[in-house]
Structure 1
Amino acid sequence: MPPKNTQPKYRQIADYLRDGILDGTFPAGQPLPSEEALAKQFGVTRPTVRQGLSELRASGLVEAIMGRGTFARSPHSRPSHTRPRGVRRAPDGRYIEADGIRWTDTEPPVATRTDAPLALADLLRIPPGEPMFTYDALQTADHGRLRQLHRTYVPFSILADTKYEEEAPPSAPELYSALSDLGHELHFTEYVRTRMPLPDQAQALRLADGVPLLHVIRMTLAEADKPLALEEFHLPGDELELSFRL
Structure 2
Amino acid sequence: MPQENTQPKYRQIADYLRRGILDGTYPAGQPLPSEEALAKQFGVTRPAVRQGLAELRASGLVEVIMGRGTFARSPHSRPSLTRPRGVRRTPQGTYAEADGITWTAHEEPLATRTDAPLALADLLRIPPGEPLYTYDALETAAPGLRQLHRTYVPFSVLVDTKYETEAPPPAPQLYTALSDLGHELHFTEYLRPRMPLPDQAQALRLPEGVPLLTILRVTHTPEDKPLALEEFHLPGNDLELSYPL
TM-score range for the pair, normalised by the shorter chain length: over 0.9
Distance across 2 between alignment mates of 1:105 and 1:138: 6
3-state secondary structure, aligned to 1:57: helix
Is 1:165 paired with 2:170?
A: no
Residue 138 of structure 1: CA displacement? 0.4
2:37 partner letter: A
SS of the equivalent of 1:91 reads coil
Identity of aligned residues (%): 82
SS of the equivalent of 2:223 reads: helix
Tell me which amino acid in the other structure corresponds to 1:225: D
CA-based RMSD: 0.7
Give the deviation of 1:45 after TM superposition.
Answer: 1.1
Q: By how many angstroms is 1:223 displaced?
A: 3.0
Q: Runs in 1 of length 4+ with deviation above 6 angstroms?
A: none
Alpha-carbon separation, structure 2, partners of 1:74 and 1:223:
42
Match of 2:147 in 1: 148
Question: Match of 2:53?
Answer: 53
1:93-242 matches, within 5 Å, as 93-142=93-142, 145-242=144-241
Deviations 1:60-102 (A, max 9, x none): 1000001000000111110010000000000000010000001
Deviation at 1:47, TM superposition (A): 1.1
Alpha-carbon separation, structure 2, partners of 1:80 and 1:153: 31
Q: Secondary structure at the match of 1:64?
A: strand
Per-residue deviation, residues 103-159 of structure 1 (Å, max 9, x unmatched): 00110000001100000000000000111000000000015x000000000011111
5+ residue gaps, structure 1: none
User: Unmatched 5+ residue regions in structure 2?
Assistant: none
Separation in structure 2 between the aligned mates of residue 210 and residue 50 of structure 1, nearest angstrom: 15
Query: How far apart are 1:44 and its partner, in Å?
Result: 1.1
What amino acid is the match of 2:4?
A: K
Residues 46-85 of structure 1: pairs in structure 2 closer than 5 A: 46-85=46-85
Residues 29-52 of structure 1 deviation map (CA, whole Å, 9 limit, x = unaligned): 110001111111111111111111
User: Matches of 1:47 and 1:165 in 2, distance apart?
Assistant: 61
3-state secondary structure, aligned to 1:193: strand
Q: TM-score, normalised by structure 2?
A: 0.99
Distance 2:24 2:185 in 1: 48
Q: Compute the TM-score of the two structures, normalised by the length of structure 1.
A: 0.98
- What SS does the corresponding residue of 1:178 show, helix, strand or coil? helix
Matched residue count: 245
Name the CA distance, whole Å, in 2 between partners of 1:17 and 1:41.
12
CA shift, 1:27, in A, is 1.1
Q: Counterparts of 2:219 and 2:78 in 1: how far apart (Å)?
A: 31
What SS class does the counterpart of residue 184 from structure 2 fall into? coil
Give me the whole-angstrom Cα distance separating, in 2, the residues matched to 1:114 and 1:49. Answer: 48
